[in-house]
């Protein structure tokens, strides 16, 4: 009974607290109350009942109905709905229909954009295995993987998906691909034994983890955690607990809607009370005036313009390999001031490349990067003959299991290789195998070795496999002369201790203790430069008995050939991208599972601000306050775990930073989801991480993040411009109606005319502002503070100033035409166009003058707003076209019978246009002065 209680207590611990990897194996068996024979069927059933199935529980997810209802939560939408209802109530069905159409467009468009049910947990569930091979009661049996329980003994082999977290009991050349969990692309060699308690997840060589894949070999393991308690289950729990936060832009748009609603109520109440108490206006007219003000105050086109502008920005970013999954996040990119990035594949090529070779007692440099076979061998900068390194390269290609194949070209690649067009559907050459072996293979091809020819000339007869314990691999070949030769590669110290001679300038000489020390020093020097080093040797006098069944006796009396040092080189565009980020006030932090030496070397090459490194174990020793004090000064975190990544993120956010976080493995999903901007890798990233992210990089390239930030800043600038433009127009309309009403002039512009301006003649140019080019200094500014919204003090001043100046310039037009002081009844329009509409001079003409004046003033307003961004009138051809369309539509309203009937307007004559032109010039002059005053009192942006 005591054992059962102890087991239950252990089973209740989280996977991170149960130190299964550091305990003696006997203690693990004892704690789990099991043995080599496995559990009995009865005990397995009891544990399944107690622990639950070995699966990751998933929520139902968000229903389409809930997503649709969410579209109606913003306050601005309800302002529009109320306005439409009021217009319909008073009989203005056209006005109501237009507003209702805007609401339908906004909500349907938003629904289509947001209709991605949260599938992170579901994707984790789909990754689950379907069966497992276990030992129950001393017999092997295949069972449903969901019925695996702690204490089961499982068997895995090449190609299997691991069914649960387990401690390795036996293994034979076992290697596991843990990329889905850790994000590291290189397979992990496994071994029996114990590791230190503080060993990071990626380095626990004695453990298997649920849903990772066995690359090669086989093993027997003892299940320690299942379902939600497994590492991948804990990640699922973290994803469920991650909060869905509105971006600052979403919050501000909602706040703006509430302010507009409150403002409408206040203004309408003031006018209604004033008219009913002081004036003698009929109640119906007061109501219509209030409706007119309500319609004029609501920027009906703003939600649609914002949504479409963000969508257009997202489309531009997709063309640059950044796929935006949440539209509002496009704006949030503009305020990012810290980018936390992976190393492998993001800052680097993720293609190991041989960079240095030791042969013939000399050191040679190798040019070229990645899997490109163009390159040469140099010594002290001068090219040398390939023969100087031929033997060590031949050994690297023969003692190698890389296969050459083809794949369909990735259409997301930035450029095609030599001789390749890059057309979709084409095939390209690729290498299949371990990244280290591929690097050796490519280095040999740079020297002119052909794989097929070499295999034909030196056919392989046998092999002694590489294992994590042996740390070496040996192959036996027949030479063109018919002799037997063995080639070995492996860890330099392992290879060196099996050598008693070395090859120097074609001669085999004794390997002295002094030479051993020199080679060991050279190996250490390479390692200090973050190179992964392999040693190479051969044996020319292989006995015939070793040809078909070679064993470790073959690996004695070897001749040392040399060393090859390799590194995953930085992408060539990354240093410039990081420099651009630093110039823009954005700090770049590398968070990697790799060792500190490699991380520092890569950091120096790509140009990180500083190369201070904190490792995962050091991080665990630091308190939250200690980390908070140093986090701004550290650019590299090495040997980190998923928990470390989340802790770093939360510390940076706690200090007020807006953080973009990259990730690829399942373990990165919680940090990516909790970041202000979560960035997933599209090529090597897992589905879970992609679904938890805001942006997916289609090329896994850091430079794309820089481009995305630049795109985000551009979009934010453009959002500010059209918000300023639309709200200043609304402010002018409210001020005009409010002033006209208080002055006893009645309604100076009708609700349908206001609606036309807001949705069409202002809305179309505002939409094209969304594609305005970026300001030249956009990446030279400091990041926008998170607390700084779209609407700043300068924009508020601009909205108020423009509204007042529009009223000052347009109200005289209404007054003069309403009272007929400038036009004594002569039908100028009829004289010019041959029409005789028969309209009397009066309110309708005065309202038409104001209506058209607003449309004409938009040209001045647009340029006044864009001027501070250094943009000329013709810098955006779409905007020029939009203004032309708006003016054309206005002319159709004025000079067609249908337009005149719908909008209650009179056609204008030349004298009317002259009045509007004079008013526009006055407005432009006032705006020019106003912009200069603003420049003296406010920041430029």
Q: CB within 8 A of 71, min separation 6: which ones? A: 77, 106, 107, 110, 111, 114
Q: What are the residue numbers of the active site?
A: 342
CA nearest neighbour of 379 among 360, 394, 352: 360
> With contact defined as beta carbons under 8 Å apart, do 218 and 155 qualify?
yes
Q: How far apart are CA 596 and CA 609, in angstroms?
A: 16
> With contact defined as beta carbons under 8 Å apart, do 639 and 595 qualify?
yes
Q: What are the residues facing 637 on neighbouring strands?
A: 591, 614
| Neighbour count for residue 771 (Cβ, 10 Å) | 18
CA nearest neighbour of 661 among 251, 350, 340: 340
Structure tokens at 877: 């051809």
Q: How far apart are CA 829 and CA 915, in angstroms?
A: 14
Q: CB within 8 A of 940, min separation 6: which ones? A: 868
Q: CB within 8 A of 548, min separation 6: which ones? A: 461, 462
Q: What is the number of residues in the chain? A: 941
Structure tokens at 552: 């470790």
Q: Residue 152 burial by CB count (10 A; 0-12/13-18/19+): exposed, middle or buried?
A: buried
Q: CB within 8 A of 760, min separation 6: which ones? A: 886, 889
* φ and ψ of 498, to 5 deg: -100, 5
CA nearest neighbour of 315 among 118, 307, 578: 307
Type and span of the H or E element at 636: strand 636-638
**If you search the block for the tokens 């989280």, which residue do you land on?**
14
Q: How far apart are CA 409 and CA 428, in angstroms?
A: 6
> With contact defined as beta carbons under 8 Å apart, do 610 and 578 qualify?
no
Structure tokens at 756: 């036309």
Map 56-69 to HEC letters. CCCCCCCCHHHHHH
Map 138-182 to HEC letters. CEEEEEEHHHCCCCCEEEEECCCECCCEEEEEEEEEEEEECHHHH
| Neighbour count for residue 524 (Cβ, 10 Å) | 12
Q: What are the residues facing 141 on neighbouring strands?
A: 134
Residue 229: half-sphere exposure toward Cβ, Cα within 13 Å: 22
| Neighbour count for residue 194 (Cβ, 10 Å) | 15
CA nearest neighbour of 26 among 204, 193, 225: 193
Map 450-519 to HEC letters. CHHHHHHHCCEEEEECCCCCCCEEEEEEECCCCCEEEEEEECHHHHHCCEEEEEECCEEEECCHHHHHHH
CA nearest neighbour of 279 among 745, 819, 818: 745
Q: How far apart are CA 339 and CA 706, in angstroms?
A: 9
> With contact defined as beta carbons under 8 Å apart, do 729 and 854 qualify?
yes
Q: CB within 8 A of 343, min separation 6: which ones? A: 590, 592, 594, 599, 602
Please give the full DSSP string across 355-368, using - where no structure is assigned.
EEEEETTEEEEE--
Q: How far apart are CA 301 and CA 130, in angstroms?
A: 52
Q: How far apart are CA 625 and CA 743, in angstroms?
A: 63
The SS3 call for residue 612 is: coil
């Amino acid at each position: 009974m005591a054992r059962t209680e102890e087991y239950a207590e252990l089973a209740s611990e989280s996977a991170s607290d149960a130190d299964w990897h550091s305990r003696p194996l006997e203690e693990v068996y004892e704690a789990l109350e099991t043995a080599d024979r496995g559990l009995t069927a009865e005990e397995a059933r009891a544990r399944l009942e107690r622990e639950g199935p070995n699966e990751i529980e998933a929520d139902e997810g968000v229903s389409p109905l809930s997503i649709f209802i969410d579209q109606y939560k913003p306050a601005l939408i309800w302002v529009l709905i109320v306005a439409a209802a009021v217009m319909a109530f008073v009989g203005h069905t056209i006005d109501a229909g237009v507003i209702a159409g805007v609401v339908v467009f906004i909500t349907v468009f938003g629904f289509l954009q947001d209709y991605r049910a949260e599938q992170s947990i579901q994707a984790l569930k789909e990754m689950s295995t379907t069966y497992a091979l276990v030992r129950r009661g001393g017999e092997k049996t295949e069972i449903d993987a969901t019925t695996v329980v702690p204490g089961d003994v499982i068997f895995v082999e090449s190609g299997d998906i691991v069914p649960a977290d387990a401690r390795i009991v036996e293994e034979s050349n076992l290697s596991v691909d843990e990329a889905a969990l850790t994000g590291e692309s290189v397979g992990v060699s496994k071994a029996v034994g114990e590791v230190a308690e503080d060993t990071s997840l990626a380095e626990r060589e004695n453990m298997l983890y649920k849903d990772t894949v066995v690359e090669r070999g086989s093993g027997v393991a003892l299940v320690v955690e299942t379902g939600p308690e497994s590492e991948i289950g804990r990640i699922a729990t973290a994803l469920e607990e991650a909060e869905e936060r509105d971006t600052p832009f979403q919050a501000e748009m909602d706040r703006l809607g509430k302010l507009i609603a409150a403002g409408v109520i206040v203004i309408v109440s003031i006018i209604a009370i004033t008219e009913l108490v002081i004036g003698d206006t009929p109640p119906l007219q007061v109501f219509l005036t209030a409706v007119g003000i309500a319609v004029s105050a609501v920027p009906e086109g703003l939600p649609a313009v914002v949504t479409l502008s963000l969508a257009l920005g997202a489309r531009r970013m997709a063309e640059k390999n950044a796929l935006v999954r949440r539209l509002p996040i496009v704006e949030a990119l503009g305020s990012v001031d810290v980018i936390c990035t992976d190393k492998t594949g993001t800052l680097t090529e993720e293609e190991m490349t041989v960079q240095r070779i030791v042969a013939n007692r000399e050191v040679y440099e190798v040019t070229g990067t990645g899997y490109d076979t163009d390159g040469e061998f140099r010594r002290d900068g001068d090219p040398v003959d390939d023969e100087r390194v031929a033997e060590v390269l031949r050994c690297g290609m023969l003692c190698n299991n890389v296969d050459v194949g083809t794949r369909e070209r990735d259409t997301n690649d930035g450029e095609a290789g030599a001789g390749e067009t890059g057309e979709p559907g084409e095939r390209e050459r690729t290498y299949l195998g371990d990244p280290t072996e591929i690097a050796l293979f490519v280095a040999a091809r740079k020297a002119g070795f052909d794989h097929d020819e070499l295999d034909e000339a030196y056919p392989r007869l046998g092999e002694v496999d590489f294992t994590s314990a042996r740390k070496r691999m040996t192959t036996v070949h027949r030479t063109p002369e018919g002799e037997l030769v063995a080639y070995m590669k492996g860890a330099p110290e392992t290879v060196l201790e099996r050598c008693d001679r070395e090859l120097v300038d074609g001669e085999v000489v004794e390997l002295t203790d002094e030479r051993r020390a020199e080679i060991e020093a050279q190996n250490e020097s390479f390692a200090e430069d973050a190179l992964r080093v392999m040693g190479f040797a051969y044996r020319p006098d292989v006995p015939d008995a070793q040809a078909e069944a070679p064993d470790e006796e073959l690996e004695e009396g070897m001749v040392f050939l040399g060393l090859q040092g390799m590194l995953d080189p930085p992408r060539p565009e990354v240093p410039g991208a990081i420099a651009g980020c630093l110039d823009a006030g954005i700090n770049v932090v590398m968070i990697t599972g790799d060792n500190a030496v490699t991380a520092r070397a890569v950091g120096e090459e790509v140009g990180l601000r500083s190369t201070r490194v904190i490792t995962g174990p050091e991080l665990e020793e630091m308190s939250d306050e200690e980390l908070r004090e140093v986090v701004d000064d550290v650019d590299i975190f090495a040997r980190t775990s998923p928990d470390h990544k989340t802790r770093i993120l939360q510390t940076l956010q706690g200090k007020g930073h807006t953080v973009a976080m990259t990730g690829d493995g399942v373990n990165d999903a919680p940090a990516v989801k909790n970041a202000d901007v979560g960035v997933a890798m599209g090529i090597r990233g897992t589905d879970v991480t992609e679904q938890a992210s805001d942006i997916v990089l289609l090329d896994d390239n850091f430079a794309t993040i820089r481009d995305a930030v630049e795109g985000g800043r551009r979009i934010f600038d453009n959002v500010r411009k059209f918000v300023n433009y639309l709200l200043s127009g609304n402010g002018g309309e409210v001020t005009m109606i409010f002033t006209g009403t208080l002055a006893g002039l009645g309604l100076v512009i009708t609700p349908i005319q206001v609606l036309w301006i807001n949705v069409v003649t202002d809305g179309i140019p505002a939409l094209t502002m969304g594609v305005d080019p970026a300001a030249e200094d956009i990446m030279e500014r400091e990041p926008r503070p998170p607390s700084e919204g779209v609407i700043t003090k300068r924009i508020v001043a601009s909205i108020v100033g423009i509204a007042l100046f529009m009223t000052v310039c347009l109200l005289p037009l209404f007054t003069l035409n309403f009272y007929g002081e400038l036009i004594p009844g002569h039908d100028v329009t009829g004289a010019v166009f041959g029409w005789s509409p028969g309209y009397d001079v009066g309110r309708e003409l005065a309202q038409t003058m104001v209506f058209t004046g607003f449309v004409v003033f938009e040209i001045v307003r647009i340029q006044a707003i864009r001027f501070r961004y250094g943009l000329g009138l013709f810098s955006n051809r779409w905007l020029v076209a939009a203004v032309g369309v708006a003016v054309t539509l206005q002319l159709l309203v004025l000079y067609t019978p249908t337009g005149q009937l719908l909008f209650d307007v009179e056609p204008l004559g030349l004298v009317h246009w002259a009045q509007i032109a004079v008013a526009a010039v006055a407005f432009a002059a006032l705006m020019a002065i106003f912009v200069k005053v603003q420049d003296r009192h406010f920041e430029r942006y």
